[in-house]
Amino acid sequence: MSIGQTFLSELLLESEVTRKYLASVSFEKKDFKPTERSETLGRLAIHVAEITAWWTACIKKDKLDFIDFEPANIQSTAALLIYFDDLLAKAKKDLLAVKDAEFEKEWSMTYGEEILFTLPKKQVARIFCMNHLIHHRAQLGVYLRLLNIPVPASYGPSADDEKVNLIKRIF
């Protein structure tokens, strides 16, 4: 199995969970912020979706420059899911086609002329594409909990799953 296929297997598992989280986002509450310094729910949800585009950026380019970055203007859960699904389809295609040698190349995140970091693409894929997604998805789960929106299961049932609630009632 190639490196790209290995990452794809993991991405597909994580994407099932991520899609459930994104489907739970209420854009009626898109301006919610748990603290003044926090992102809004809407911006965080879009960020969770857009991280999937970074797989393609990592594979196809040698850097990602954020100087002119504008997040997608998404105003509904349905549009968010379409955006996520489209980015995932592109990432899947690119991960299936990438040669292992590509992951040994250097990749940089920049802001104009400023280099924020440079790492081998294999590390970028793990840290920036995968771990970063999981980190922000967990943040999204906190927002959902604070808004009293059921939190989807991640790696086992969540406190909102009926199985967990049944077990709690029994014991």
Q: What is the rounded distance in angstroms from the CA atom of residue 151 to the CA atom of residue 159?
A: 8
User: Which stretch of DSSP H or E encloses residue 20?
Assistant: helix 3-23
* Residues 52/85, Cβ–Cβ less than 8 Å: no
Q: Are 52 and 87 in contact (CB under 8 A)?
A: yes
How many Å apart are CA 89 and CA 156, to the nearest integer?
26
Cα–Cα distance measured from residue 55 to residue 124, given in angstroms and rounded to the nearest whole number? 9
Tell me phi and psi for residue 156, to 5 degrees: 175, 180
According to the model, what pLDDT value does residue 157 have?
87
Question: 10 Å Cβ neighbour count for 60?
Answer: 12
**Average pLDDT for runs of 10 along the chain of length 171:** 97 97 97 97 98 96 92 96 98 98 97 96 96 97 96 89 58 52
CA pseudo-torsion sign 161, 164, 168, 169: positive
Alpha-carbon distance of 124 to 103, in angstroms, equals: 9
Contact 31, 42 (CB under 8 A): yes
What is the per-residue pLDDT for 162? 67
Closest by CA position to 22, among listed 72, 73, 78, 75: 78
Instruction: Give the pLDDT confidence score for residue 123 in this predicted structure.
Output: 97
Q: Which domains are delineated in the chain?
A: 3-170 (1.20.120.450)
Beta-bridge mates of residue 63:
108
Judge whether 139 and 154 are in contact, CB under 8 Å: no
The closest alpha carbon to 154, from 8, 14, 6, belongs to: 14
pTM: 0.91
